[in-house]
Structure 1
Amino acid sequence: MATDAKRSKQDNGASAQNPGEDKTLQSFLSWCKEVRLELSEKVYVSREGTVADYGMLAREEIEEGEVIFSIPRAALLNQSRTAIHSILEKEEESLKSQSGWVPLLLALMFEYTNSKSHWSPYLSLWTDFRALDHPMFWPKEERERLLQGTGVPEAVENDLANILKEYNDIILPFIQSHREVLDPQKHTLELYQSLVAFVMAYSFQEPLEEDEEDEKEPNPPMMVPMADILNHVANHNANLEFRTDSLKMVSVKRIKKGEEVFNTYGELANWQLLHMYGFVESYPSNTNDSADIQMATVYKAALQAARTESERSLVVEKWDLLCQLDIVGEEGAFVFGQSGSLTDEELYTSLKVLCMPVEQFKEFKENEGWEEAEEDDEDEMAAALSNDGIPKLSLPWRRLLGDSVALTLQDYADELQPDKELLGDRQAYGRLSSRERLALQLRYGQKVTLHQLLELTRCHSV
C-alpha cells in the first residue's frame, strides 16, 4: 500500500521476524507477558513489511471477529497507574486544564525520566519523541510554506500557544512544588512539548456511553501498550474494543497471512492525521479525507457580492443572526468530503439565510429562525448538499458557495496543476524531502475536493 510513514521510532537494525535481535522490542514483549497482555500466536511485531517502522503482521490467516490481543486494564498507563498517582490525586483541582491532558502528561514526564520505572520497557520504544516529526517540530517558515491553506499551520500555532500557557501556568508551578519527584532542569518545556506530541500520536480515549455523551466531559487520554504499535489506514482491518476488565483488538474482516494489521484512529482527514500523528495517507487512499471552507470565508464572499451599501448592511445583519443562533462562528468551518457536505445543517441554514430576500429575512428574524429551521428536514438538507444535489441548488446558493470555494483556493500557495504534475513525476517526487511529500499529498487531496466542488456549483441540473 502506498502511504507515507505514520511515525518513526528508534532504528537499531533489528531483524523483522526475530524480536530477539531487537533488545528493546524483546524487553517490551517480555514486559507484556509480565503484565498479562495476551498476544495471539497468529501475529508478530515487525519493522519490515509494515507501512511505518514497528507494526503488526499476520503470521497466519485471521478470521473476522478474532481477538488479536487482549490488554488488562492494569496494563494501561494513565494518571492512576503512575508512581506519583497520590500526588496527582491530591493536586487534582490545580491540574485542570482546557486540554484535560495535564495529569497524564505529568505522569509521563516522571515515568519517562525514571530509569527504574515500571513502564520503562514500554516507554523505551521511543528514545526521541522529535522523530515523530509532527508539524509542531517543523520550523515555522517551512510549516507555513509547505502547508499554507491546509489549516495545519493555524492548528499548530494554537497548540504551541496552549502548550506554553499550560506549562507556565500549571506544569512549572507543580514541578516547583514537588521537587522530590520532578526537576525543572530535567522536566522542561521542550520535554513537555514532545510528550504532547506523543500523547497526540499514541494515546486512546475510552468512548462515553451514548446516554452520557451530552452530560459528561470526554474521558481523559491513556496510553495503551501494544495497541499503539498498530498503524492506521482508513480501510482498516481491526478495531479496539473497550470492555469491563480489558481492551481487545478484534479483527473486523479477514486478514490474510503476511498482511499488516491496521487499527483506525477514527474517520480523520489527512490534515488531522498530519497535525495529530505526523503522517498522511497518499492520495486517494484516505476515504475520510476532506477540505474545509471557513465560515468566515462564506461571510466574506457574501459581502463581496453585495452591490450597494444597503445590501452589505443586510449581509451583516444576516450574519449576526446566524452567529446568535450558533449556526456559524469566527473559527468554524464547513467541511466537504468525497460525497459532499459533512456539515449539512450549518451550511444549508447559512446559504438559506444569506440568500434570503429582504421580506423573507424580516419574517425569519422575527421568529428568531426557529420555526423556519424546524421545517428543514435533515435528510433533505443532506441530499441538497451532496454531490448530486449541489448542481440542483438555486443560482444564488450555487453562486455564493462557488465564490466561497474560489476564495478558499486563493489561500493555497500554488494552483492544482503543478501539484498534479509533481505527483506524476516519480523522479521529481523522489527528490522531495519527507515533509515535502507529506505536504504535497495533503494539499493535493484538499485542492482536488475543492475543485470538484467548484465545478458542481457551475453546473445546473433541473
Structure 2
Amino acid sequence: MDTLISWFQEHGGSVDASSLGFAEIDGQGRAAVAKRDLPEGHNLFSIPRSLTLSTRNSPLPKLLGDALWKTHELGKGWVGLILCMMWEEAQGPASKWSGYLATLPTDFNTPMFWSEEDIQELKGTAVVDKIGKEDAEKDYHGRLIPCLNARPDLFLPELLSTCYSLEQYHTHGSRILSRSFHVEKSDDEDSDEDAEAGCSDAMDTDEAPQLVAPSGPGSAENDSAAGAAGEDSDDEDDEDVGDVAMVPMADMLNARYGSENAKLFYERYDLNMVTTKPIKAGEQIWNTYGDPPNADLLRRYGHVDVVSLPGGGEGNPADIVEVRADLVVDCISSGAGDLSERIDWWLDQGGDDTFALDRDLELPPDCISFIRLLQLTSGEWDKAQTKGKLPKGKMEPAIASVAVEVLTRRLAQYPTSIEDDEVLLSPERTGTLSLNRKHAIIVRLGEKRILRGMLDNMRKLAQGDGKKYNKRKADDKGGRSGKKARQ
C-alpha cells in the first residue's frame, strides 16, 4: 500500500493519512479502515480526473488513429479499454499508470476462472449463461489480435505472448469488471483544448445495479463495467465506453449490502471520496456496488453477501430469481395453438424476455401481463392489438395456476433441493467446502428460497381469488415513491 500511496501522491492525488488506513481483514482481503472518528462529509482522498485510466486518458487511441480504432471496433464493448490497459502495462515505468497497475490483482474468484466442475454447482442459476467467456475470447481473436498485428511498432511482437496474451486479456477484463467506475465526461472535455490536456471523465456510482447517472449533482457512484471480459450487458450498446474508467484508490474500498458509508463525488477537476455518515475509529469504510443480488456479486466480484434477513435467517436481501419468458410459454402452449405472433408483439411493445422475482414473493406485474396475453381469446387478442395496449398485470386464480406450473418447473432446474443445500452449509459441513462451491451453494439456495416462498403464495391464490392480492399490490404502490434505486 505504501507504494500505491506514494505513486498516487506523486501524480497529484491527495490522501488524508490521519483518517484513512488499510488493513487485512479475514474473508475480505485488504480493506480501508477509519483511523479516527470521522464525521459525515469528511473528504478521505481526492483523485485528479487525469489520473483515471480510460480510453479517454490513455494516449493509445490517438496513437492508433481513428481509422484503425474503428476498423477493429475497439469502441464497442470493453475491448478498447482492455487493450489500453495491456499497452500501458507493457510500457513498464514509462507508463503514467505503472505504479497503479502493479498493485492490481492477478487472481480472481469469479466464475470466469472456475473449473467446469465448479461451474456445474451453479446449474439452475442465471450466472452460467452470463459468464461470457466464449464471447470474450471471440473478441480477443477477432478484434484485438488483428489490431495488434496491424501495428507491430506499438505492440512489439516479442511481447505478444506475454503482455497481450489471452490470459492477460481475461485478467484485465476482470479488473475492469470488478473495479471500474462509470465516469462521465466533464464539460471541459468537450473542448479540443481540454481533450489535448488529458482531462478525464466524471463518475457514477450509486443508483441502479447497471450503469446510471448519479442521483444528485456532483455525485459519482460506483458500478462495475458490465460487459468487460465478455460480460453480458443490456446497457453496453447505449453507453459511451469512454465513461468506463479505472480509478486509483477508490477501487480499494470494499462493499457490502446496506453498509455504504462513503461515496465518490466529482467536481470540475477532481473526484473525491467523502463519508456519507459518521464512522467510528477502527470501522471499515465501505463504498457501494449498489446492493446487487448474490448472483451478480459472484459473477462480477467473486464474493457473496450474507447478512441478517428482515424475516429471519441469513442471506442477501437483494437476491432475485430470473425466469425466462420461454418457460412461461412452455407452460401455456399445450393446446393453446401458435403463440409466436403474440410473443413477437409482446417484444415489439417493449416486454421483457426475462422476469425477475424478488423477496416480496409476489408475481411481477409484467409477468402477469405476459401470462394474460398468452391466455387471451382470439377476440380479446384482436382487441388488444387494435388498442395497442398490453393486458394489465391483474392477478386472478387462472394466472396463479399458471404461475404454480412455471415456478415448479423453474425450481426443478436446480440439481439439488433446499434441504440438500442447507445441510451442505451447516457448521458441520461448510468447513469441507471449497470457496467456489460454498459461494455457488449460497447463490442457488437464496434463489430457491424465493421460488419456494412464491410457489406457496401462488398455490394459495390459485385456490381462491386475487382481490386481496391486487389490493395489497395497489396499497404498496401507493405507499412508495417509485422503484427502489438499484445502486
- TM-score normalised by L of structure 1: 0.80
Segments of structure 1 that go 5 or more residues without pairing to the other structure are: 1-24, 385-392
Per the TM alignment, residue 252 of structure 1 is displaced from its structure 2 partner at its CA by 2.1
Instruction: Kindly provide the CA deviation profile for residues 38-67 of structure 1, in whole angstroms up to 9, marking residues without a partner as x.
Output: 222354342323652111001112222222
1:60-459 alignment, distance < 5 Å: 60-90=36-66, 91-96=68-73, 99-116=76-93, 117-126=95-104, 129=106, 131-143=107-119, 145-156=120-131, 159-182=132-155, 183=157, 184-186=160-162, 187-206=164-183, 207=204, 217-220=239-242, 221-235=244-258, 236-282=260-306, 284-303=314-333, 306=334, 308=335, 311-313=336-338, 315-328=339-352, 332-340=353-361, 344=365, 346-367=366-387, 369-370=388-389, 376=392, 393-423=395-425, 425-459=426-460
Which residue number in structure 2 is paired with residue 21 of structure 1? none
Farther-moved stretch of structure 1 (356-365 vs 246-255): 356-365
Which residue number in structure 1 is paired with residue 223 of structure 2? none
- Aligned 8 A contact 2:61 2:69 in 1: no
- Aligned 8 A contact 2:74 2:80 in 1: no
- Aligned 8 A contact 1:67 1:250 in 2: yes
Instruction: Kindly provide the CA deviation profile for residues 226-261 of structure 1, in whole angstroms up to 9, marking residues without a partner as x.
Output: 111111112122222233211122222222211111
CA distance in 2, matches of 1:123, 1:112: 7
Shift in alpha-carbon separation, 1:342–1:37, aligned structure 2, 3 A: farther
- Aligned 8 A contact 1:44 1:59 in 2: yes
- Aligned 8 A contact 1:65 1:251 in 2: yes
RMSD: 2.6
- Amino acid paired to 1:355: Q
Per the TM alignment, residue 429 of structure 1 is displaced from its structure 2 partner at its CA by 0.3
Q: Secondary structure at the match of 1:205?
A: strand
Per the TM alignment, residue 120 of structure 1 is displaced from its structure 2 partner at its CA by 1.8
Which residue number in structure 1 is paired with residue 480 of structure 2? none
- Amino acid paired to 1:428: R
Instruction: Kindly provide the CA deviation profile for residues 338-358 of structure 1, in whole angstroms up to 9, marking residues without a partner as x.
Output: 2256964x3232022123344
Which residue number in structure 2 is paired with residue 56 of structure 1? 32
CA distance in 1, matches of 2:445, 2:437: 12
- Aligned 8 A contact 1:402 1:457 in 2: yes
Which residue number in structure 1 is paired with residue 194 of structure 2? none
- Amino acid paired to 2:148: I
- Aligned 8 A contact 2:44 2:274 in 1: yes
- Amino acid paired to 1:433: S
- Aligned 8 A contact 1:62 1:256 in 2: yes
CA distance in 1, matches of 2:121, 2:154: 41
- Aligned 8 A contact 1:51 1:231 in 2: no
CA distance in 2, matches of 1:446, 1:289: 7
Identity, % of aligned positions: 24
CA distance in 2, matches of 1:99, 1:446: 33
Per the TM alignment, residue 151 of structure 1 is displaced from its structure 2 partner at its CA by 1.2
CA distance in 2, matches of 1:269, 1:318: 31
Per the TM alignment, residue 288 of structure 1 is displaced from its structure 2 partner at its CA by 1.9
CA distance in 2, matches of 1:239, 1:180: 41
- Aligned 8 A contact 2:18 2:36 in 1: yes
- Amino acid paired to 2:413: D
- Aligned 8 A contact 1:97 1:166 in 2: no
Per the TM alignment, residue 108 of structure 1 is displaced from its structure 2 partner at its CA by 0.7
- Aligned 8 A contact 2:320 2:357 in 1: yes
CA distance in 2, matches of 1:270, 1:136: 16
Per the TM alignment, residue 68 of structure 1 is displaced from its structure 2 partner at its CA by 2.1
Instruction: Kindly provide the CA deviation profile for residues 131-186 of structure 1, in whole angstroms up to 9, marking residues without a partner as x.
Output: 1122111122321x210011111112xx2222122112221111112222323222
- TM-score normalised by L of structure 2: 0.76
Segments of structure 2 that go 5 or more residues without pairing to the other structure are: 184-203, 205-211, 216-234, 308-313, 469-487
